[in-house]
Structure 1
Amino acid sequence: MKYLFVFIALISSYTYAQNINTEQLDSYFSSLEHRNEAMGSIAISKNGKILYSNAIGYKTINGNDKEKSTTATHYKIWSITKTYTAVMIFQLIEEGKLSLDTTLNTFYPQIPNSKKITIRQMLCHRSGIFDYVNDIEKDIKLRDIQSKDSIAELIGTFTPNFKPGENFRYSNSNYLFLGYIIETLDSVNFETALSNRILSKLKLRNTYFGTQTVKNLKNIANTYNFNGSWIPVDGEADYNNHIETADGGIVATMEDMALFIEALFDGKLISEQGLSNMLEGNDSYRLGIMKTQFLDSEGFGHTGGWISESSLFYYPKEELTIAYATNGIVIRKEEILDNVLKIYHNKPFAVSMNRNVQGLVILIIGLLCYSILRFRFSKVLTSRNLIYLGFITPLIFWIGSFISGLLRENYNYLSEPITALDAFYSSSGTFMASIQFTTALLSILFFLIIYKNCKRHQINVIPAMLLLFVPIAMIGASLFPFPNELYSLFTNIIILSALSPITAIFLWRKSQIYGIRRLALLSIFLTIVSICLIAIRSVDPEFVFNYMGIIQRILYLGWSLWFVFLALSFQNLNKKKPS
């Protein structure tokens, strides 16, 4: 296919429109809309020409009164604004008004370490300046403060994250100050600077900045969450009053976004050397621009997200641009864009089956497997050998969840929880749901054998009965995946499995199983640690966000080890009392 691209480029300037499968793209986005997986707009362009554009869902929903989105609908693009800000900074550098080594104290000496913080470090988030967005109370105060110096004083009260240049940490404060620097050097507000330096040059008539300007737009998408139906995001008015910042305040159409980044790489905004400086480095985040990878193609651009999400990337090898924004999303934008690129490159891609059908299929398979085990292998089922299910069940769950993470591209095991693997229609959803159902089935069998052994040894059965919270949670999560309103209920039920080791401590007092009480404490400890770490969200939300994957896995490790401990203990107990 790539040779065909080269051939066409050499023999003519003929449009690439014939090489993009618009019919398949239409079908894919129609499927997303029909399944309530996403609402938003996309534009794909090449050499300044739009190859494909589409909009799905609604821009406004008021009860039964719904207004469809179009390709002319404006969307909040959030942090993609940072690339526009970075371009203007490089323009100022080329005009001799700044350099990458200019220090922040030239403009805002009240910021800690400002004498050592350079423009370069701010562009690539290596300044150490605290991210004001991470502190809700200070963030709210910023909305009411008009003076830049007062805002700088307020942000300056935070302790720096690290010394300048020592580390990377994404901080919106960097671009807040870069925007102020642009306003200072141009002697105009950011909205006017943006218009003079970018919008007017490129004749982008559908890109806007500023709270009042955005409020007056009639064709702008409101934001919604899906919970059985699309419902408005709480407090969107507060977010709308907060978008007048250089770190995330632009509203635009997808076609305007595509034209902007193509102009950047075409040398219409900054010089070739300026662009080279912008792309310098080996990190995924460069100077105001991110690097991504698809197959053997590098892409450069930025993503944005707060109450909605957006993405803008240019692929130099193909001279291809993809701009995408949502005002309602269930599956990740990364998965959608990955499938768009696969369609463009004529690569196969998978869309998970309808989850209602999936749930029915898994249920039928599970019942068939149980029937076979129950009626064809009844002798094995009643054997003490089935205690080994205490080892097998958690092992299958952990291996399965690991494989699910591999299936879901760009999955981060540190920050993303296990429950994210079962997200509605995600690429890992069907497989993870199957793993959960298998885990549930094996957990039920394990419960039956532990229950039978408790009766046989005349041990209280309540701790065994409480094991059923594990299969209940697993079955519920697989049949009612996020964002179903029952999903959170079932996933949180897993916490109640800790009642099994808790009751075992008090009810299993016989000397022959006394050792398991000490093991129960370890399982309980892991559950408590996980809950406590989640509870510190109000104190350190960034920590919880960055390590939610680890935190939830500690919780799941609690019931997993309890299964293993039960298997070991009853195995030893049966050796002491042969049947």
Structure 2
Amino acid sequence: MPVTLVNPAVDDQRNKNMKKKLLTLLLVATVGQSGFAQQIDKAKLDNYFNALEANNKFMGSVAVSRDGAVIYSKTVGFADVENKVKADETSKYRIGSISKTFTSVLIFKAIEENKLDLSQTIDKFFPTIKNAGKITIKHLLGHRSGISNFTNDKEYLTWYTQAKTEKEMVAIIAKGGSEFEPDSKAAYSNSNYVLLTYILEKTFKKPYGELLQKYISKPLGLQNTYVFGKINVDKHEVNSYTFAGYWKIEPETDFSIPLGAGGISSTATDLTKFNDALFGGKLLKSESLVLMKDIKDGFGLGLFKSPFYDKSSYGHTGSIDGFRSVFQFFSDGNISYALVSNGTNFNTNNISIAVLSAVYDKPYELPVFSNYKVDAKDLDAYLGVYSAKDFPLKITITKDNEVLMAQATGQLSFPLEATEKDKFRFEQAGVVFEFNPAQKNMVFKQSGQQFTLTKE
């Protein structure tokens, strides 16, 4: 019987709905006993990542530690594609919403120092936020505030690269209003952790970046973990990319916008060190960690729970611009796993499964990629706008030179890979498009569902 878990940490600052599958850690496996590989087959894992790199499927870094010691690490791809600058283990990647776990730790540091309380409301900090007198710090941490997610606003893509002041960000969040009564349910919202950032800065009277260094990075020796600024490849920071037949550089979100919701850069090995320290009791009191791990309606306080075979882990996922990230801790064996990426043209969930399968001595296959080619002129038969009464979005099919592109209503376009005649896929989201030019329709398949859309 398959075990399936969808991590609700969907926080892509630029993509929604159909592309949310990119941001989930969906570990699917058959229930059964699994042990540890006595020794990881590093050559096989290296071949796995070399195949991804050779086929322009993945650029990034992974690391695994056991009992605090790194047992596998691998980095592939470029820090700077345009200038052919290769990435290495010290290259820094933006980690997106994994930053929220760091922010949660800082909040609990403030609680342990009696500077804050989980049950205190946020009205003294943000009187203009709807329901501020009912919303507590704990509600913010667990995504139970009801505050609308500002990155879902249709205007977001017009200003995310521009610096914003606290006054401007609070006004934007306040304008978004409330989606439900506080603590009545849970819904993921980046707004919660932006507000938590401001609470930390007001409480400690120090910038978020200084707090990160004082309480986490310096004590743990995380030399490559800090709040990001403008990307500087000369400082071993990597650009981010999307794949459109080639690696296309992405615009940069300004740090003043995600803050503690997604504004940290790090490395895979630093994330495993953070993992080991957090779950090894070196950062917080045991009662604080217990609260962080308490899952309600799918959400902990800065953590999520994910399964792999008969085991479970705590961690988070992240996404910002072209960056993707995952970090997980398995108490069974004290295994820490982290993935950071600056370019994906592949389902990163499959990568996580492969690495963890190597760790837990489970079978996995090396990836095989299609070399099916379509002439640019033949793509014209697929172009157009497709819709259906039972499908919530319209999908516009265009082409960029020799690459077929799809774009759902209100979203960014993404490339499709030809797999055979009239069939294309978007690997990261597990989406398949099957075109029937003669009948002027297209079958859209995802997660076991399919819809027939007709060309308008």
Q: Same fold (TM over 0.5)?
A: yes
Residue 523 of structure 1 corresponds to none
Q: After superposition, where does 1:120-139 map in structure 2 within 5 Å?
A: 120-137=138-155
- Name the aligned partner's letter for residue 87 of structure 1: V
Please state if 1:476 is matched with 2:422: yes
Residue 314 of structure 2 corresponds to 300
Are the structure 2 counterparts of residues 113 and 42 from structure 1 closer, same or farther at C-alpha, using a change threshold of 3 Å?
Answer: same
Are the structure 2 counterparts of residues 215 and 277 from structure 1 closer, same or farther at C-alpha, using a change threshold of 3 Å?
Answer: same
Q: How far apart are 1:206 and its partner, in Å?
A: 0.8
Work out whether residues 210 and 244 of structure 1, in 8 Å CA contact, stay in contact via their aligned partners in 2.
Answer: no
Are the structure 2 counterparts of residues 114 and 37 from structure 1 closer, same or farther at C-alpha, using a change threshold of 3 Å?
Answer: same
Please state if 1:228 is matched with 2:245: yes
Work out whether residues 138 and 154 of structure 1, in 8 Å CA contact, stay in contact via their aligned partners in 2.
Answer: no
Residue 113 of structure 1 corresponds to 131
- How far apart in 2 are the matches of 1:210 and 1:99? 29
Work out whether residues 108 and 149 of structure 1, in 8 Å CA contact, stay in contact via their aligned partners in 2.
Answer: no
**CA offsets per residue over residues 388-424 of structure 1, 9 Å max, x none?**
xxxxxxxxxxxxxxxxxxxxxxxxxxxxxxxx9x986
- How far apart in 2 are the matches of 1:54 and 1:350? 18
Q: How far apart are 1:358 and its partner, in Å?
A: 11
TM-align CA RMSD: 3.4
Q: After superposition, where does 1:524-543 map in structure 2 within 5 Å?
A: none
SS at match of 1:346: coil
1:192 to 184, 191, 210: 210
Q: How far apart are 1:204 and its partner, in Å?
A: 1.1
Work out whether residues 495 and 555 of structure 1, in 8 Å CA contact, stay in contact via their aligned partners in 2.
Answer: no
Q: How far apart are 1:350 and its partner, in Å?
A: 2.8
- How far apart in 1 are the matches of 2:328 and 2:118? 24
Q: After superposition, where does 1:120-269 map in structure 2 within 5 Å?
A: 120-137=138-155, 147-211=165-229, 215=232, 218-233=235-250, 236-237=251-252, 239-240=253-254, 245-269=259-283
Q: After superposition, where does 1:82-93 map in structure 2 within 5 Å?
A: 82-93=100-111
Q: How far apart are 1:244 and its partner, in Å?
A: 5.6
- How far apart in 2 are the matches of 1:357 and 1:136? 36
SS at match of 2:368: coil
- Name the aligned partner's letter for residue 177 of structure 2: T
Higher helix share: 1
Q: How far apart are 1:177 and its partner, in Å?
A: 0.4
**CA offsets per residue over residues 524-557 of structure 1, 9 Å max, x none?**
xxx9xx99xxxxxxxxxxxxxxxx969x94435x
Q: How far apart are 1:224 and its partner, in Å?
A: 1.9
Q: How far apart are 1:110 and its partner, in Å?
A: 1.0
Residue 69 of structure 1 corresponds to 87
- How far apart in 2 are the matches of 1:232 and 1:96? 45
Are the structure 2 counterparts of residues 2 and 482 from structure 1 closer, same or farther at C-alpha, using a change threshold of 3 Å?
Answer: closer
SS at match of 2:170: helix
- How far apart in 2 are the matches of 1:290 and 1:311? 11
Q: How far apart are 1:30 and its partner, in Å?
A: 1.3
- How far apart in 1 are the matches of 2:293 and 2:437? 46
- Name the aligned partner's letter for residue 354 of structure 1: F
SS at match of 1:555: strand
Work out whether residues 147 and 189 of structure 2, in 8 Å CA contact, stay in contact via their aligned partners in 1.
Answer: yes
Are the structure 2 counterparts of residues 163 and 59 from structure 1 closer, same or farther at C-alpha, using a change threshold of 3 Å?
Answer: same
TM-score, normalised to structure 2, is 0.75
**CA offsets per residue over residues 478-511 of structure 1, 9 Å max, x none?**
5xx448xxxx9x9485587358xxxxxxxxxxxx
Q: After superposition, where does 1:47-58 map in structure 2 within 5 Å?
A: 47-58=67-78
Residue 310 of structure 1 corresponds to 325
Q: After superposition, where does 1:366-445 map in structure 2 within 5 Å?
A: none
Q: How far apart are 1:51 and its partner, in Å?
A: 0.9
Q: How far apart are 1:154 and its partner, in Å?
A: 2.8
SS at match of 2:191: helix
Are the structure 2 counterparts of residues 139 and 61 from structure 1 closer, same or farther at C-alpha, using a change threshold of 3 Å?
Answer: closer
- How far apart in 1 are the matches of 2:42 and 2:173? 48
Q: How far apart are 1:3 and its partner, in Å?
A: 9.6
Q: How far apart are 1:331 and its partner, in Å?
A: 1.1
- How far apart in 2 are the matches of 1:135 and 1:225? 22
- How far apart in 2 are the matches of 1:4 and 1:305? 31
Work out whether residues 160 and 254 of structure 2, in 8 Å CA contact, stay in contact via their aligned partners in 1.
Answer: no
Are the structure 2 counterparts of residues 554 and 194 from structure 1 closer, same or farther at C-alpha, using a change threshold of 3 Å?
Answer: same
Residue 289 of structure 1 corresponds to 303
Are the structure 2 counterparts of residues 139 and 100 from structure 1 closer, same or farther at C-alpha, using a change threshold of 3 Å?
Answer: farther
- How far apart in 1 are the matches of 2:119 and 2:301? 13
- Name the aligned partner's letter for residue 497 of structure 1: Q
- How far apart in 2 are the matches of 1:54 and 1:138? 35
Work out whether residues 314 and 328 of structure 2, in 8 Å CA contact, stay in contact via their aligned partners in 1.
Answer: yes
Unaligned runs of 5+ in 1: 6-15, 360-419, 438-474, 500-526, 532-547, 560-579
Residue 555 of structure 1 corresponds to 452
**CA offsets per residue over residues 246-277 of structure 1, 9 Å max, x none?**
10000111111110111001111101111001
- How far apart in 1 are the matches of 2:156 and 2:162? 10
Residue 461 of structure 1 corresponds to none
Are the structure 2 counterparts of residues 139 and 116 from structure 1 closer, same or farther at C-alpha, using a change threshold of 3 Å?
Answer: farther
Higher strand share: 2
Are the structure 2 counterparts of residues 138 and 346 from structure 1 closer, same or farther at C-alpha, using a change threshold of 3 Å?
Answer: closer
Work out whether residues 224 and 231 of structure 1, in 8 Å CA contact, stay in contact via their aligned partners in 2.
Answer: yes
SS at match of 2:84: strand
Please state if 1:59 is matched with 2:79: yes
SS at match of 1:112: coil
Residue 365 of structure 1 corresponds to none
1:331 to 332, 340, 346: 346
1:497 to 439, 446, 451: 439
**CA offsets per residue over residues 438-478 of structure 1, 9 Å max, x none?**
xxxxxxxxxxxxxxxxxxxxxxxxxxxxxxxxxxxxx3215
Q: How far apart are 1:144 and its partner, in Å?
A: 5.6
Work out whether residues 210 and 243 of structure 1, in 8 Å CA contact, stay in contact via their aligned partners in 2.
Answer: no
Are the structure 2 counterparts of residues 137 and 184 from structure 1 closer, same or farther at C-alpha, using a change threshold of 3 Å?
Answer: same
Q: What number of residue pairs does the alignment pair up?
A: 381
Q: How far apart are 1:146 and its partner, in Å?
A: 5.3
- How far apart in 2 are the matches of 1:132 and 1:3? 42
Are the structure 2 counterparts of residues 129 and 549 from structure 1 closer, same or farther at C-alpha, using a change threshold of 3 Å?
Answer: farther
SS at match of 2:439: helix
Are the structure 2 counterparts of residues 61 and 345 from structure 1 closer, same or farther at C-alpha, using a change threshold of 3 Å?
Answer: same
Q: How far apart are 1:229 and its partner, in Å?
A: 2.9
Unaligned runs of 5+ in 2: 1-31, 375-413
**CA offsets per residue over residues 4-29 of structure 1, 9 Å max, x none?**
76xxxxxxxxxx9x622212211211
Q: How far apart are 1:137 and its partner, in Å?
A: 3.0
Moved more, 276-285 or 164-173: 276-285
- How far apart in 2 are the matches of 1:22 and 1:296? 24
Larger Rg: 1
TM-score, normalised to structure 1, is 0.60
- Name the aligned partner's letter for residue 315 of structure 2: G
- How far apart in 2 are the matches of 1:242 and 1:182? 15
- How far apart in 2 are the matches of 1:203 and 1:253? 13
